[in-house]
Structure 1
């Protein structure tokens, strides 16, 4: 593609927009909470405990109710996740992450609507999720597609 002045101008403006996002209060809050989360030993222990339990959970999911520890692991994953989620640093980080995602979604929506009402933009982090049902089949199972 041959670069035109208009194309270069669009790229320059998008770079400026990126710099504005990086300099925003929302991004600063995200960076601060992320740093605080990584420095907090209790939070890191809870996260590691959750990741360890998640490995067991994924193993159980392959066999379902036929796995000998199914009910025990299903209960433990919920307990460990709740403990992790109740940590102040984890909760603050998740909130900052959600605020940043909202900002990025709003920018995407604004840019898309500036071009045309028919252009779809991701909402609520939809670009990061699957079809919504959680089965991962892309709607082939007949659920939400």
Structure 2
């Protein structure tokens, strides 16, 4: 089986021409944002992302996963297990089958994760997510250091807190 090398997630330094200067967005005497020019540059960034090694690897492993018969069977099994668990979850841990249903979901998920193409697909998916986060962070940082950038990371790092004033993050939005 042919494999593609995983890109180093730290190597997301694309030479993105986000803006040459804010002068390019000025028209006449007043400063206004040329949405057409901004959208064209956004499409250029999208094209660069789509041509990246991360997206190529993601597409490759997605195809491999989609064509893998054992994965398809386990995905169906996983969906059924999740449905049963959702029914049990309505009543919480007091449902007689709650723990068995939860264990079944974990078991099928572990079987899925044990298949090489699934684990490589997840790694490629994470690499694309990291690339998109790096781009979004760079764009947000060009506007302001306190702008929050959404992430799929369950343990976000830095940025403002939005926590209602009980911290000392200095973002000014804490109450």
Q: Identify the range of structure 1 (78-87 vs 4-13) with the bigger mean alpha-carbon deviation.
A: 4-13
Cα-to-partner distance string for 1:4-46 (whole Å, 9 max, x where unaligned): 7832211111110011111111001010110100000011111
1:98 has 2:126 as partner: yes
Partner of 1:74: 102
| Moved >6 Å (runs of 4+) | none
Partner of 2:46: 18
CA distance in 1, matches of 2:103, 2:65: 26
Structure with the higher fraction of residues in helix conformation: 1
Partner of 1:118: 146
Partner of 1:55: 83
CA distance in 1, matches of 2:110, 2:130: 24
TM-score (norm 2): 0.66
* Unaligned segments of structure 2, at least 5 residues: 1-31, 157-162, 164-175
TM-score (norm 1): 0.79
Which residue, 65, 68, 71 being the options, matches 1:37?
A: 65
Number of aligned positions between the proteins? 126
| RMSD of equivalent CA atoms | 2.2
CA distance in 2, matches of 1:122, 1:5: 24
Q: Shift of the alpha carbon at 1:65? A: 2.5
